[in-house]
Homo-oligomer: A and B are copies of this chain.
Amino acid sequence: MNKERLWNRLHELSQYGKDPIAGHTRFSFTKEERMAKDLTAKYMLEAGLEIREDAIGNLIGRKEGTMSDAPAVLIGSHLDSVPQGGMFDGPLGVLAGIEVLQSMNEREIVTDHPIEVIAFTDEEGSRFQFGLIGSKAVAGVLTEEDLQRSDQNGITLGQAMKENGFDPLRFKEAARDPKTVKGYVEVHIEQGKVLETNNLPIGVVSGIAGPLWLNWKIKGEAGHAGATPMQLRKDPLVAAAEIMQDIEEQSKKYTNAVATVGKISIKPGGVNVIPGEVEFTLDLRDIDESVRDTIEKTIVANANKICSKRKVELEVTTLQRVAPVPCSPEIREVIEHACSQSGVKAYTMPSGAGHDGMQFKDFCPIGMIFVQSKDGISHNPAEWSTK
């Protein structure tokens, strides 16, 4: 591994898509993204890889193995960013993959299986309001409806592809036969503070947590804050407070579960008026779907008890339910073995955020390696990683 080369490439690549205000804004199928892909293609050639772009614009660099028909090991990440994002989220995984293959080639290390580095098209979803586009196409789950999704200027994904020289009618050609893929590995910054807090260099990801989004609406009875004794109230906000406490308590019982109430609104919203209605959202995640299901069942059951005791009405609706994806025990073992050989402590942890590998749930075994995020900051110009 040539650390300096990787570091320099990260900085060189970050020149494309610099946002005029702060950080990097590099959306899919834009000039900035094209330039980043072209520079990355140049790195792939320097690494001695055979390059191509598939029908959805995924940039692929391949190092052949000794068994030419053997399924390929994929290493990947993405080059697009969120608005005013950082320079590590995505590019690090692509460039680290190239660096590994270039170092292997320099040392004339040959493998049985071919290895491919992929820069996936549009992981973030910032342009078309849905992401993981390139990995969806590879897994064969991208649909014709997806191509109709449009950006804020009304340009559809299909149109954007066309403008960039891709034929939207041929997007299915990006789908790969699972038999040709051995597995998928991705290096990514953690986007949290676990590694930093514990002063650890490497996280071996146990699984990618799927978010379950629930909307909670509680109806009580608005009233005069002065003229309604506590005993006669049907206050939905105090019910919500009790539920939020329980959500925290229940999710803390499991190592990897995270539960977040990120939005709350109240009606009518006067200082001297008892609220009549409260709505809040819950983002609940775990890498184990059965754990997430158990927590969901418990908190909804407890919330119903709380609301019935307080004589307020509860309505819980599902906004989205994404299945978690466990990482392959085999790949995890390989990563842990490599760590122990290098004298690095491997720390097992979940990925709370979503990544391209999620699309390979029923496609191939996946693995992920996390590196530290300074202060846990990501999707932000201050995103940084040095370890």
Q: Which residues in A have some Cβ–Cβ distance to B below 8 Å?
A: 190-194, 197, 209, 211, 213, 223-232, 235, 237-238, 240-242, 244-245, 248, 251-252, 256-264, 266, 269-275, 281, 283, 285, 319, 351-354, 376, 378-379
Q: A192-B232, A211-B272, A248-B238 are known contacts. Are A225 and B285 too (CB-CB below 8 A)? A: yes
In the complex, what distance in Å separates the CA atom of A230 from the CA atom of B225? 35
Copies of this subunit: 2
With A227-B352, A230-B248 given, can you name 7 additional A-B contacts, CB distance below 8 Å? A191-B226, A192-B232, A213-B271, A224-B353, A224-B379, A241-B242, A241-B245
Residue with the highest number of chain B CB atoms closer than 10 Å, among A238, A262, A273: A262
27 pairs from A and B in contact (CB 8 Å cutoff): A192-B224, A193-B228, A193-B232, A213-B272, A224-B376, A224-B379, A225-B258, A225-B285, A225-B352, A226-B283, A226-B285, A226-B354, A227-B351, A227-B353, A229-B258, A230-B248, A230-B257, A232-B376, A241-B242, A260-B273, A260-B274, A262-B269, A262-B271, A262-B273, A262-B275, A263-B266, A263-B271
Smallest Cβ-Cβ distance to A222: which chain B residue = B262
User: Once the chains are docked, how many angstroms separate the CA of A300 from the CA of B229?
Assistant: 22
- Smallest CB separation, A249 vs chain B (Å): 10
In the complex, are the beta carbons of A191 and B224 less than 8 A apart?
A: yes
- Bound Cα distance from A148 to B271, whole angstroms: 25
Of all chain B residues, which has the CB nearest A191? B227
Given A241-B244, A244-B241, A283-B272, the answer on whether A228 and B263 have CB atoms closer than 8 Å is no
Q: In the complex, what distance in Å separates the CA atom of A317 from the CA atom of B86?
A: 37
- Min C-beta distance of A49 to chain B, whole Å: 31
Contact assessment for B228 and A258 in the assembled complex, using a CB-CB cutoff below 8 Å: yes
Q: Determine how close the nearest CB of chain B comes to the CB of A142; give it in whole angstroms.
A: 23
Distance in angstroms from A260 CB to nearest chain B CB is: 4
Tell me the bound Cα distance from A285 to B224 in angstroms.
12
Which residues of chain B are near A259, meaning CB under 8 Å? Answer: 230
**Nearest chain B CB to A230's CB is how many angstroms away?**
5
- Minimal beta-carbon separation of A247 from chain B (angstroms): 8
Which 9 pairs show the lowest CB-CB distances between chains A and B? Answer: A226-B352, A192-B227, A225-B260, A241-B241, A241-B244, A191-B227, A227-B352, A225-B283, A226-B353
Measured between C-beta atoms, what is the minimum distance from A257 to chain B in Å? 7
The answer to whether B244 and A258 touch across the interface, beta carbons within 8 angstroms, is: no
Structural contact, B283 and A271, CB atoms closer than 8 A: yes
Contact B258 A263 (CB under 8 A): no
* Chain B: minimal CB distance from A286 (Å): 10
The answer to whether A209 and B226 touch (CB under 8 A), given A260-B274, A272-B262, A272-B283, is: yes
B248 touching A244 by the CB < 8 A rule? no
Residues of B within 8 A of A248 (CB): 230, 235, 238
- Contact partner of A237 (CB less than 8 A), chosen from B193, B258, B261, is B261
**B266 near A264: Cβ-Cβ < 8 Å:** yes
**How far is B282's CA from A275's CA once the two chains are assembled, in angstroms?**
12
Bound form: Cα–Cα A226–B264 in Å:
18
Residue of B nearest to A273 (CB): B262
With both chains docked as a complex, state the minimum distance between the C-beta of A317 and any C-beta of chain B, in angstroms: 13
Beta-carbon nearest neighbor of A269 in chain B: B263
**Interchain nearest-CB distance for A226 vs B (Å):** 3
